[in-house]
């Protein structure tokens, strides 16, 4: 069995999630490739050493470029702050390595376009961490829509809200800097935009409003020195889809009480389905003639679920979704799968987000075809 060498950059929450997913994929699935956790890199060399030992990587490295140059590494997984995605991915592509990058793909559309074009030219496999699309219940929802069980789709409502920045005393971080992140739309909204495209299809035009509610935050926790904030705290948008459906999306990191409220509600001429990531093993479905919504539970009849549990109602979690995402990446590396979001898909999400920002800034409807964003254009 051919070995697949994994290099992971980053030791934060997402770095740990990736490491767990690679380890879990080896344990849960009968994979066509043998995974080897080769190198873990972090700017903090001591932390890299500790995490490499705990997570099962053979070597730690304080230099991400050295990880990319390592001939044992076939896949470079990038879990760093957003502004580092571009240089790391471009270096990995130049080295002929596959790239598994967290979302959003880049901090602007020009970078995202350069990344997708470089990957195309190099012929390398790319994947982006739109993890929630790998939920078996989302797969079921997509199948139901494709099968016409809801009739003609007429409406999409999507929201991703959390409250980790709800306190105005929460300090400044890299997420609050335009050049490094992009605000709630980039951090949370990119997931719901990806979900809208995945479930309903292409968007043709948008109208939007963005707002920065807390214009200043402490430079560090408890400090009286304040840092100006320019990114959005919340964004609301109207969508028109190519198939004629209408939609709304919103993203906020200020909404008290919500921890991972990625919710979608899709209505057709013959029914409605609803999903909330805070109850990720459930799908609510209403079909014309029913007296109320049917509550559907995830179970081993759905692709992916049975690998973790033979019984319904025993629940999958975020780390299982990440494991399913890694499994898809590995199948693609083996030439046996084409699911998941690649750099082209992620560029389309960034293009949509750029249109939303333009619509909010210019206070008008913006057609997606107006947004080019090609590198060098």
Q: Is the pLDDT of residue 338 over 70?
A: yes
Mean per-residue pLDDT for 86-95? 98
- What does the pLDDT read at residue 348? 97
List phi, psi (to 5°) of 143. -65, -40
Using pLDDT thresholds of 50, 70 and 90, give the confidence band for residue 375.
Answer: very low
- What does the pLDDT read at residue 377? 34
Mean per-residue pLDDT for 202-213? 97
pTM, two decimals, is 0.95
Q: Is the pLDDT of residue 15 over 50?
A: yes
- What does the pLDDT read at residue 254? 98
- What does the pLDDT read at residue 57? 98
- Structural domain count of the chain: 2
Average model confidence (pLDDT) across the chain:
95
3-state secondary structure 45-82: HHHHHHHHHHHCCCEEECCHHHHHHCCCCCEEEECCCH
Would you state the structure tokens that stand for residue 359, as one six-digit string?
């619509």
Whether residues 225 and 145 fall in one domain:
yes
Whether residues 168 and 256 fall in one domain:
yes
- What does the pLDDT read at residue 182? 78
Mean per-residue pLDDT for 262-281? 98
Whether residues 144 and 266 fall in one domain:
yes
Using pLDDT thresholds of 50, 70 and 90, give the confidence band for residue 67.
Answer: very high
Mean per-residue pLDDT for 249-269? 98
Domain interval for residue 8: 3-131
| CATH classification at residue 108 | 3.40.50.720
Whether residues 257 and 155 fall in one domain:
yes
Would you state the torsion angle of the CA atoms of residues 260, 264, 265, 270, taken in this order, to the nearest 10 degrees?
Answer: -140
Whether residues 141 and 104 fall in one domain:
no
**Domain annotation covers residue 363:** no
The string of pLDDT tens digits covering residues 296-310 is 999 999 999 999 999
- What does the pLDDT read at residue 174? 85
Whether residues 305 and 173 fall in one domain:
yes
- What does the pLDDT read at residue 373? 61
Q: Is the pLDDT of residue 372 over 90?
A: no
Whether residues 70 and 89 fall in one domain:
yes
**Domain annotation covers residue 153:** yes
The full length of the chain comes to: 377
> CB within 8 A of 257, min separation 6: which ones?
163
Residue among 377, 372, 374 nearest 117 (CA)? 374
The string of pLDDT tens digits covering residues 119-172 is 999 999 999 999 999 999 999 999 999 999 999 999 999 999 999 999 999 999
- Measure the CA angle with vertex 163, ends 157 and 169; round to 5°: 145
């Amino acid at each position: 069995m051919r070995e697949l060498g994994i290099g992971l950059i980053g030791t934060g929450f997402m770095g740990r999630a990736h490491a767990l997913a690679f380890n879990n994929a080896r344990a849960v699935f009968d994979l066509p490739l043998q995974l080897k956790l080769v190198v873990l890199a972090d700017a903090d060399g001591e932390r890299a050493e500790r995490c490499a030992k705990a997570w099962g990587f053979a070597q730690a490295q304080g230099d991400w470029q050295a990880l990319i140059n390592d001939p044992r590494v076939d896949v470079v997984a990038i879990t760093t702050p957003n502004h580092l995605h571009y240089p790391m991915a471009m270096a990995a592509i130049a080295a002929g390595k596959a790239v598994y990058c967290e979302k959003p793909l880049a901090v602007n559309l020009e970078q995202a376009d350069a990344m997708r074009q470089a990957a195309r030219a190099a012929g390398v496999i790319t994947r982006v961490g739109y993890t929630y699309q790998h939920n078996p219940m989302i797969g079921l929802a997509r199948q139901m829509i494709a099968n016409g069980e809801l009739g003609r789709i007429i409406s999409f409502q999507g929201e991703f809200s959390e409250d980790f920045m709800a306190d105005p005393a929460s300090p400044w971080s890299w997420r609050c800097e335009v050049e490094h992140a992009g605000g709630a739309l980039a951090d949370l909204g990119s997931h719901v935009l990806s979900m809208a495209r995945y479930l309903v299809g292409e968007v043709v035009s948008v109208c939007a409003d963005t707002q920065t509610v807390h214009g200043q935050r402490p430079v560090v926790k408890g400090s009286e020195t304040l840092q100006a904030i320019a990114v959005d705290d919340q964004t609301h948008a109207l969508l028109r889809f190519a198939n004629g459906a209408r939609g709304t999306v919103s993203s906020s990191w200020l909404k008290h009480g919500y921890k991972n409220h990625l919710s979608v509600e899709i209505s057709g001429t013959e029914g409605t389905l609803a999903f909330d990531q805070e109850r990720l093993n459930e799908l609510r479905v209403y079909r014309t003639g029913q007296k109320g919504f049917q509550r559907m539970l995830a179970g081993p009849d759905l692709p992916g679920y049975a690998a973790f549990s033979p019984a319904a109602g025993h629940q999958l979690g975020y780390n299982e979704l990440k494991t399913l995402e890694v499994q898809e990446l590995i199948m693609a590396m083996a030439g046996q799968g084409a699911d998941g979001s690649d750099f082209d898909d992620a560029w389309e999400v960034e293009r949509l987000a750029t249109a939303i920002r333009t619509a909010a800034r210019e206070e008008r409807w913006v057609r997606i075809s107006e947004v080019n964003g090609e590198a060098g254009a």
